[in-house]
Structure 1
Amino acid sequence: MLNISQDKLNRRVDLSHYKSVQRVFHHRHYKWFNRILLGFSILLLVILFLPWTQTVSGKGSVTTLSPEHRPQTIQSPIPGRIEKWFVQEGDFVNKGDTILHISEINNQYFDPLLVERTGEQLTAKSGSVASYSGKIGALAAQIHAINSERVLKKQQATNKLQQARLKVKSDSIDLEAAEINLQIARTQLERTLQLQEEGLKALPDVEQARLRMQETQARHISAQNRLLSSENEVVNAQIEINRINAEYNDKISKTESDMFTAQSNQFDAEAQVSKLENDFSNYSIRNKLYYILAPQNGYINRALRAGIGETFKEGERLVGIMPSNFQMAVETFVSPLDIPLLHKGEKVRVQFDGWPAIVFSGWENLSYGTYGARVVAVENFISPNGLYRVLLGPDPDDYPWPRDVGIGSGARTLALLEEVPIWYEIWRNLNGFPPNYYQPQTATTVSEK
């Protein structure tokens, strides 16, 4: 009954005589109510001082720890046309199994015997290189023979020159002897003429002396001629040496020119051989690319290019595959305010979508259905969604993760930080303060060392 009137009914009427009033307003009820309030207050005060683990929450998805174990697509490095499928979606394939067969659409590679004919061209051009090598060897031997012959010819001409010089020397000595004989004959003629004038010599003696002088002059002139002839032979021998040098230099130059031409042709043939080898290797490898093979063990997820006869470009995705052997991980995203609190190796609790869980944020020991994880990597650059990406791996000291969790399913994470009283956590949240900034024990130990 509301007391809204100025005339209070309980002042004029005594209600204590009624049994219902006696039962309701008994002092014993106040006593129990006060005890309940006191107990609840004490309990609330105790709860406020209980330890509470600060956490950094995040949302992410299940992925794999190694990039090579994540879902991937298979591309063809060459353009082609689909000819035959060997698998269906959902099939398990081993590494190296054939997934589909493609054919060529580039008219440059239509020839089915392209590799064999390229090999024949390579063999023929290799033989050309060998022929040029043989020709170069023959020309080199010819140059060596010409050099040897030039040495002999030059030695022969040098010997002739030496003989001519010795002959000049001999003829010059003969000329000097003829000059002496001429001088003696002239002196004898003059003496005979003088004796004739004195009457001591007869005319025949004078004639005989004049005849000897004429003979001596003739021998002197003949000696001069022989000396000039010998000097001409010296000049001719020198000219012969120069001619031999010029002749053999010309032969050697011509042979070297032929050898250089052969070397140039050999280099050109070797370049063509290298190009043909490159083409042969490319064609051989291209023939192997007509069969798309599985890069690793896994399951065929989806055929991205279906049908028979459908064409595609190089690098275009053909089929998706999910590796069968992988180690699960969780990529979660946290706000930039919390990223300085996360360090590599810290413990994190993970709740997977679809798995029942009871989570107490501050009391991880009372949580049920969460799994242990550790921080594997913290991205240093912000993601397009405005958050930082953190990669989590399974905690080896905790329960193993469920294998039935699918790659790509959602996950919620709680990174465990410091333990603080509950009253402090309530006060922090009411004021919008971040969790306590701290460094892990490992980092502190390393810095102290």
Structure 2
Amino acid sequence: PYRLVDEPYAGFFSLVADQVATSFADVHLLEEERRRAEALAEIDRAKTTFFSNISHEFRTPLTLMLGPIEDALHDPGTIPANKSRMDVAFRNGLRLQKLVNTLLEFSRIEAGRLEGSFTRVDIVALTRDLASTFRSAIEKAGMELRFEMAPVQDDVYVDPEMWERIMLNLLSNAFKYSEQGSITVSVGEAGEELVVAVSDTGIGIPEDQLSKVFDRFHRIESRGGRSQEGTGIGLAMVRELVRLHGGRIAVESKAGEGSRFVIHVPVGRNHLPQDRIVATAVAAQGNGGIFLQEALKWIPEVQDAARGLVAAEADGVPEEDGKPTVLLADDNTDMRDYVRRLLSSHYRVVTARDGEEAYELLQREKPQLLLSDVMMPRLDGFGLLQKLRAHPQLKNIPVLFLSARAGEEAKVEGLDAGADDYLV
């Protein structure tokens, strides 16, 4: 017996056909998604390998550059003018070395090739010593470094080199984005966990950015802080280093009120790979000096004193007959000094540390040309340009953007905003 193919029966077959087609389509979609995920993973692995290789290739020439420069700096026969130039080169060479080391370490973490050597430490003393690296910079900036240390009764195992990276990055960020108030480092024990926190009274983090803080290469758009320099991998690396200790890190923040980064690490040693526990680990590399030099560069008064400028010289530039005035706005002290030295034989050069200061000087000095960086604290180059073009007496001043942001799209963006030229 069989059923006649009537309308309900035909509808049933149509429904079955649709379901089969949908199932095949879903299978194809899943397969396509799998291939796409594998391709993305392969690209990610290739990028990690590239970072690792290029970082290694950078280290050799960097070492061969820094060594002779340091020798020349300590050579009694080097004249003072050349020592000043060598000091700029050495300082920025160290900064580049720090970046290369960070990239190399981050690539090793992502490739799963970084393994710690964990040893029992006095975590209170170790953390206090690392934080004290920043004391001179914090106090010179008119701020206060505070400690809230509670006894930790249980044994704590960390990799001293990794712990140094963690603390120096957190303290560096706290100082960069705090211009007044205090930075507090606390250590304590809660249940079976070590709790370490770094708090500041700085500009804080917008609520919609909190979930992205630890994402690699993510930079929070902010006009506050001492500097806009950075790569966006510091906090991502901190999170991975904390994970290697079996711990976790979280952030609490409110815009305008400051931030608090809290690390939770289990006490004892059972959570760690037993073959990576050693009696005596390799001592920390002593990267504190590099971080401190970078922090001191963010304090204008310290830089002015280092260059021998008194307050009056730092606030104004004397009139020079016959020389047109150029206003240079850049938050990098070394770049300001370098460009000023290049131009000073033909121009009277007035400098500003950020966009707000530059706008005040524009109204007072009425320069013939504005040279401006793009990324600056308080007010960036685009904001400065917008205010300049809106001012009836200043709108015709030529503006050249001078920035490390390379690429055709960056140049087009600058010219579209109203700049007369964009120099890289």
- TM-score band (shorter)? under 0.3
**Higher relative strand content:** 1
Q: Given the two structures, how large is their TM-score scaled by the length of structure 2?
A: 0.20
Structure of higher CA gyration radius: 1
Q: Given the two structures, how large is their TM-score scaled by the length of structure 1?
A: 0.19
Structure with greater contact order relative to length (CA < 8 Å, sep ≥ 6):
1
